[in-house]
Amino acid sequence: MSFKQVWTVALVWLAGCGGALSGGGRGGEGGSARVSLDAGSGTGGAGTGQGGSAGAVACPAAPTTNDPECHPEDTGLWSAGFPVPALGGDCTPGLTCEIPVGTSNSCDQALGLQTYVCCPGIFPTVTIGPAATMQSGFVPGATVDACPKPLPGQDPACALPLAASCGVEGLQCTYQSVFGAGSDAGCFLCSTQNTQVRCCGGVWVLGASCAFDAGMD
């Protein structure tokens, strides 16, 4: 599903992690961008991705038992506690993958392997423009209970997957993701996260207000 992008770049999250931002990926039609903490080669191991820096500590490697569908998402380092967009086509909902995560783009800040589960739709943490583009992707957790779901009692138009357009101007929907659900071994930096979208100008946008609301009573 993709939406027309009509405003400027909106960075929903890319704070202080040294992550490399590169375009493309599964569902990239809607302007979603990959948020990865790419690691360079290091003694005893080699990381993957551009923008990495050399280091003496090897990044954690994904197990060979990962399903082929987990690749290339299981290479490099990804930000702990955040979604990972599917990068080459829709992933199979419920599929689990062991994905390396860390807190910076340096292998010595890697936390280890985290179990991620494929969801039919996620809200990427970085988008080009404010449109609430959903795409297939992975979230921390071992069951689909970790995937975004609309809070109960909302308008039926809030049901997932979101339609490509919306008809009730100003309608706001909130979705909850329980990151780490089903992970018996725990979850690095995981929490329950709420994402808000609103119908603005006939399309769903991220956030609780429309840009043209600014300055209006």
pLDDT value, residue 25: 32
Q: What is the per-residue pLDDT for 164? A: 77
pLDDT value, residue 14: 30
SS3 206: strand
| pLDDT for the residue numbered 185 | 65
In whole angstroms, give the CA distance from residue 2 to residue 131: 9
pTM, rounded to two decimals: 0.70
Domain range annotation of the chain: 20-213
199: Cβ–Cβ under 8 A, 6 or more apart, which residues? 157, 166, 167, 168, 169, 170, 171, 172, 205
**pLDDT averages per 10-residue partition of the chain, 217 residues:** 30 30 31 33 34 61 94 90 87 95 88 94 70 83 94 93 87 94 82 92 86 55
Residue type, 200: C
